[in-house]
Amino acid sequence: MKIEPLCTLFGTCGGCQYQDIPYERELALKEETLKQQLQEELSVAGEVFEPIESSPEVLHYRSRLDLTLRKRNNGERQMGFMLPGTQRLQEVTSCLLARREINDYLPSLKEQAVRMLPADYRVANLVVRVGEEGKVFWGGIGRRSLRMKEEDYFWVTVRGRKIYYALDTFFQANHSILEKIIARIEALVPWTKETVFLDLYSGVGLFGIALADRAGEVVMIEEGADSVKLAAYNVRVHHLEHVRLLEGKVETHLPEVLKEASGKPCVALIDPPRGGLAASVIETLVQAKDLASLFYLSCSPESLVRDLKELTRTAWRVQKIMPFDFFPRTRHLETLVWLVRA
């Protein structure tokens, strides 16, 4: 069944793929596609697939937009999205997926950005973000334009704690689904005062901070200096003395961290970028005999399948595959996989 898309740019801007079908149908399609992709390549039983978790907010959920500001030959300034695979820019005055505060801010953003664009610049990539309390900030013109003052940091409340992030850090764009995914991880593990929780590719520490009360010790590993700065801020403002933050690559720190945790119940969450895991990280996880539970959160079914093939060859077994609809109306899907030692 087809429905009338709400946005006039649907089919043009390339951001949404599913505005013309009911949300329930979109969820079913995503679920089916993921099953096909994973079952084709991995020998996993149908029972390990959980029903897809819907997003509490289906429209106006994105807390971040990336826009291009461009000066045309005729002097006209346009602000909008670059059309995928082209040099064409689609002017945008509002986006159905963006939080309403961002949409309300777009006219003022364009005015400010046009005023600030240096005369010799033809293009600028703008980032605009909003926090839970509705404050909007943007950057992208000038070297330090993404830097924020501590008092301006964005935050979102998860498990009763404010998790702070900034213009220059990674942070999940759909806040409405975060409690759901954290509750799922929390429910699957028998947490004790001894549990060591490893939040790998931690960003500003979303999972480590949200689950800090469940574990005796938390170790977060993150390589991006801007995210590390905010992760340290999050640890400090919440006085979490049992949370340790390691700056650098998971490849470098993980072997030592696992050695230190040996003998204790240890749970790890890996949330790598789209490209997935480096071969050395897979090898470390294969060898990690003391690691009881491994959660793999992925935004790319392709790299997820590739990495799961290696992890499940001898060492790990897939217990559950849990799709979460982080990006309603688009083709993107987040998948949480729970693995235990084989």
Ligand X SMILES: C[S@@+](CC[C@H](N)C(=O)[O-])C[C@H]1O[C@@H](n2cnc3c(N)ncnc32)[C@H](O)[C@@H]1O
In the bound state with ligand X, the residue whose beta carbon lies nearer, of 206 and 261, is 206
Shortest Cβ distance from residue 78 to ligand X (Å)?
Answer: 30
User: What DSSP assignment string belongs to 147-191?
Assistant: ---GGG-EEEEETTEEEEE-TTS---SBGGGHHHHHHHHHHHS--
209 binds ligand X (CB under 6 A): no
Sites for ligand X among residues 54-93 (CB under 6 A):
none
In the bound state with ligand X, the residue whose beta carbon lies nearer, of 61 and 105, is 61
CB neighbours of residue 125 within 10 Å = 12
In the bound state with ligand X, the residue whose beta carbon lies nearer, of 172 and 293, is 172
Residue with tokens 């309403």: 100
Dihedral, 182, 55, 18, 171 alpha carbons, nearest 10: -50
User: What DSSP assignment string belongs to 63-110?
Assistant: SEEEEEEEE-TTS-EEEEEEPTTSS-EEE-S--TTB-HHHHHHHHHHH
Distances in whole angstroms, Cα of residue 235 to Cα of each of 166, 208, 209, 245: 15, 9, 7, 9
The alpha carbon of residue 321 and the mean position of all alpha carbons in its chain are separated, in whole angstroms, by: 17
222 binds ligand X (CB under 6 A): yes
In the bound state with ligand X, the residue whose beta carbon lies nearer, of 19 and 172, is 172
Per-residue mark of binding to ligand X, 143-172 (x: CB under 6 A): ---------------------------xxx
Sites for ligand X among residues 168-207 (CB under 6 A):
170-172, 201-203, 206-207
Describe the crossing of helices 301-311 and 23-41 by its angle, rounded to 10 degrees.
40
In the bound state with ligand X, the residue whose beta carbon lies nearer, of 51 and 273, is 273
How many residues contact ligand X, by CB under 6 A?
19
Binding window for ligand X (CB under 6 A); candidates: 94-102, 247-255, 305-313, 331-339: 247-255
Binding window for ligand X (CB under 6 A); candidates: 80-88, 101-109, 217-225, 234-242: 217-225
Element holding 65 (H helix, E strand):
strand 64-71
Shortest Cβ distance from residue 247 to ligand X (Å)?
Answer: 9
In the bound state with ligand X, the residue whose beta carbon lies nearer, of 23 and 233, is 233
Residue with tokens 């390549």: 41
Binding window for ligand X (CB under 6 A); candidates: 92-100, 131-139, 270-278, 325-333: 270-278
Among 221, 291, 315, 336, binds ligand X (CB under 6 A): 221
In the bound state with ligand X, the residue whose beta carbon lies nearer, of 204 and 291, is 204
Shortest Cβ distance from residue 249 to ligand X (Å)?
Answer: 4
CA–CA dist 158, 156 (Å, integer): 6
Tokens representing residue 240 in the block: 């979490």
Name residues whose C-beta falls within 8 Å of residue 259's C-beta, 6 or more positions apart in sequence.
none
Contact 102, 62 (CB under 8 A): yes
Contact 291, 265 (CB under 8 A): no
In the bound state with ligand X, the residue whose beta carbon lies nearer, of 210 and 266, is 210
Among 219, 250, 321, 336, binds ligand X (CB under 6 A): 250
Give burial (CB, 10 Å; 0-12/13-18/19+) of 314.
exposed
Tokens representing residue 85 in the block: 């695979």
Residue with tokens 């696992």: 258
271 binds ligand X (CB under 6 A): yes
In the bound state with ligand X, the residue whose beta carbon lies nearer, of 89 and 240, is 240
Shortest Cβ distance from residue 254 to ligand X (Å)?
Answer: 9
Applying CB under 6 A, the residues found at the interface with ligand X are 170-172, 201-203, 206-207, 221-224, 227, 249-251, 271-273
